[in-house]
Amino acid sequence: MSELLSRAEALDAADELGALRDRFVLDEVVYLDGNSLGALPAHVPDRVADVVRRQWGELRIRSWDESGWWTAPERIGDRIAPLVGAAPGQIVVGDSTSVNVFKALVAAVRMAREAGGAPAGGPREEILVDATTFPTDGYIAASAARMTGCTLRPVAPGDVPAALSGRTAAVLLNHVDYRTGRLHDLPYLTAAVHAAGAYAVWDLCHSAGALPVGLDEHGVGLAVGCTYKYLNGGPGSPAFLYVRRDLQDRFDSPLPGWNSHAEPFGMRPEYEPARGALRGRVGTPDILSLLALEASLEVWDGVPIEAVRAKSLTLTDFFLECVAAYVPAGRVESVTPAAHGQRGSQVALRCADAGTVMKRLIERGVVGDFRHPDVLRFGFTPLYVGFGDAERAARVLAAVLGEV
């Protein structure tokens, strides 16, 4: 038995989160793709069956009141709130991440113009977007810019403070880079954007459920995130939208719908927005996905996000140590920062023939994913990934690389 394997067994035996693995449906596969789709919590199928058979099948329309369907978006938002450092009443769940990015970004421009007037630097007519962002965020930002009459400027996150001016209305940033796993400095960048009189919109898709975010603590105004990665909500589960409490009365959504109306059943032709985070709602909630997500979030009961972060850093450190020990020098290069303060909960390795390598890893029971052109991504979800998984993944990676 290798020294690293022995250490993995000792670390797993001492892991305070290790018992959480039993809350999920897992097999002998090493599943390191929870940064794309989280594993299934074991109790969710029965809960979804109840929603379908009893709530929909028997109660039917009565379930909007008797089963709490109507309040699900904000109720589930309050379940997510502690995981991203938010007080209740500031998160609503529904729609996709893309739709919520559009709502938040257009609303940010409108609020900046309402508050900022025309400063010495000119009118608020520019949106900055993370130049390394997931493509959809860039597409949405471009559309929001056209709609609001803004110019769009891609900027590397580290260059944002220098790029800000009196013309800047909004800045769209990713908390964790989806390719490299780099964690950006949310407190510093948020403060810089706000000092310029603009609004930061944070995409938390790769940090929610993986590390403390501190939305309230750091004064974030607007944030969005998905729920099917580290929150394990299921494929295509609805996203969330955070609007800081003191901004809610000014939040002017570009997608007003009957569900966000102050009197949704009044059926009035004039739109009057609801108070609070409910302004983020649009149309009829996607109940089946919402309630599957609500059930999934129960795996977080009693789990502090700080403990998850501590295990994540130890796991990724150990995986990188195993890779360094098992993989011949020069075969892979980590593009994930070594510094804990700059790392999310994934490790990205650059290597030749990455697509072929990942295909063979999956065939041998180690599931990560490939990002064009040459990146292997391994996501570490501390709720169900152990140190033995990390050691085995590195060992199989070395074997595969010895064959290609």
Could you list the active site residues? 134, 203, 228-229, 377
Task: Indicate the pairing of strand 222-225 with strand 240-243.
Answer: antiparallel
* HEC secondary structure over 354-391: HHHHHHHHHHCCEECEEECCCEEEEECCCCCCCHHHHH
Structure tokens belonging to residue 184: 């950006």
> Distance between CA atoms of 7 and 227, rounded to whole angstroms?
33
Place of tokens 């800045």: 171
3-class DSSP assignment, residue 209: coil
Nearest C-alpha neighbor of 83 from the set 389, 308, 289? 308
> Distance between CA atoms of 53 and 59, rounded to whole angstroms?
9
Nearest C-alpha neighbor of 369 from the set 136, 31, 135, 21? 31
CB proximity list for 239: less than 8 A, separation 6 or greater: 93, 94, 95, 96, 97, 99, 100, 224, 225, 226, 227
110 by Cβ neighbours in 10 Å (0-12 / 13-18 / 19+) ranks as buried
The CA-based dihedral angle spanning residues 226, 232, 236, 237, taken in that order and rounded to the nearest 10 degrees: -70
State how far the alpha carbon of 267 is from the alpha carbons of 89, 114, 251, 274, 276, in Å. 25, 29, 22, 14, 20
In what helix (H) or strand (E) does residue 72 lie, and over which residues does it extend?
Answer: helix 72-80
Answer whether 383's CB lies under 8 Å from 308's CB. yes
